[in-house]
């Protein structure tokens, strides 16, 4: 009987430490600074009680939503990290104002998009308030696509003003400015932390902007120019290597931080 129980315990431990262990998912909701209702999904890996894990926050491209990451959250959890995929305001389920009026990104002005970075800061505050027992909010990586990339840079600079809690940013199809989200100065303000940039080498503008953004990075910055199709959300969907390279980068960063 004791031998049988030992085998069961070993099997449970094995399953909890393999990629086959199922991530726990639940809805994540919070209120932005202006009262806008932001939603997302939080993924947490199976882990012993009392243990805290780092978190990766995923920020989709314009016109996209939190479901477009196509399995990346589960892969992140399989490595032992938490993941928060957000519907940015005006997208997915994040379409309700403080007065519960619907608003879509298709009718946004630049002043609406300018709130994206602060929405990310509020997401981290909400994680601190509600997930402090399981998530280490002093160890964060932001992964952004298109406008999500530009918002990630600005949010990372804001979040790191008091302490370097954002350890790295991963940017897919960033631009020097998108909807007035101008990032060169914020890349400097982000500090000496590693940055990974993906873009399509067949899109001249994308190559120019990626290389220009790299000049402002204060830490190690790697630019991967891919022989691919599309930009932003389509670049990610059409290029499986982005998912693999992003996952490897996340593991490398968290191992050294």
Question: pLDDT digit string (tens) for 172-191?
Answer: 999 999 999 999 999 999 99
- Tell me what pLDDT residue 47 has: 79
* Whole-number percent of the chain with pLDDT over 90: 88
CA 233, CA 214: separation in Å to the nearest integer?
A: 21
pLDDT surpassing 50 at residue 58: yes
- Bridge partners of 143, per DSSP, are 58, 170
Mean confidence (pLDDT) of the chain: 92
Cα–Cα distance for residue pair 153/157, rounded to 1 Å: 6
Query: How confident is residue 48, by pLDDT bands cut at 50, 70 and 90?
Result: confident
**pLDDT range class, residue 2, cuts 50, 70, 90:** very low
pLDDT surpasses 80 at 19: no
Residue 15 has pLDDT above 80, yes or no: no
Structurally, at CATH architecture level, domain 23-256 sits in 3-Layer(aba) Sandwich (3.40)
User: What is the mean pLDDT of the segment spanning 33-49?
Assistant: 93
pLDDT given at position 207: 97
Q: Would the pLDDT of 31 be above 70?
A: yes
Mean pLDDT on 71-83: 97
Task: Please check whether residue 180 is in contact with residue 110, taking contact to mean a CB–CB distance below 8 angstroms.
Answer: yes
Residue 9's pLDDT band, with cuts at 50, 70 and 90, is very low
Question: Using alpha carbons only, what angle is made at residue 200 by residues 195 and 201, rounded to the nearest 5 degrees?
Answer: 105
């Amino acid at each position: 009987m004791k031998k049988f129980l030992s085998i069961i315990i070993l099997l449970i431990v094995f399953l909890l430490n393999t990629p086959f262990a199922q991530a726990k998912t639940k809805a994540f909701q919070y209120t932005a600074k202006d009262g806008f209702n932001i939603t997302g999904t939080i993924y947490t890996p199976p882990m012993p009680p009392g243990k805290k894990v780092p978190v990766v926050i995923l920020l989709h491209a314009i016109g996209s939503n939190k479901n477009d990451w196509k399995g990346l959250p589960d892969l992140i959890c399989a490595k032992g990290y938490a993941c928060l995929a957000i519907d940015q305001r005006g997208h997915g389920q994040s379409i309700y104002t403080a007065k519960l009026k619907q608003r879509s990104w298709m009718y946004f002005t630049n002043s609406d998009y300018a709130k994206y970075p602060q929405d990310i800061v509020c997401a981290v505050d909400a994680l601190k308030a509600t997930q402090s027992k399981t998530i280490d909010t002093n160890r964060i990586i932001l992964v952004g696509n298109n406008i999500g990339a530009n918002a990630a840079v600005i949010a990372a600079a804001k979040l790191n003003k008091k302490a370097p809690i954002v350890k790295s940013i991963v940017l897919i199809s960033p631009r020097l400015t998108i909807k007035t989200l101008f990032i060169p100065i914020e890349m400097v303000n982000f500090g000496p932390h590693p940055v990974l940039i993906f873009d399509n080498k067949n899109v001249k503008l994308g190559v120019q902007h990626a290389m220009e953004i790299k000049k402002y990075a204060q830490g190690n910055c790697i630019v991967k120019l891919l022989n691919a199709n599309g930009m932003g959300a389509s670049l990610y969907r059409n290029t499986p290597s982005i998912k693999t390279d992003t996952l490897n980068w996340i593991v490398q960063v968290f191992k050294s931080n």
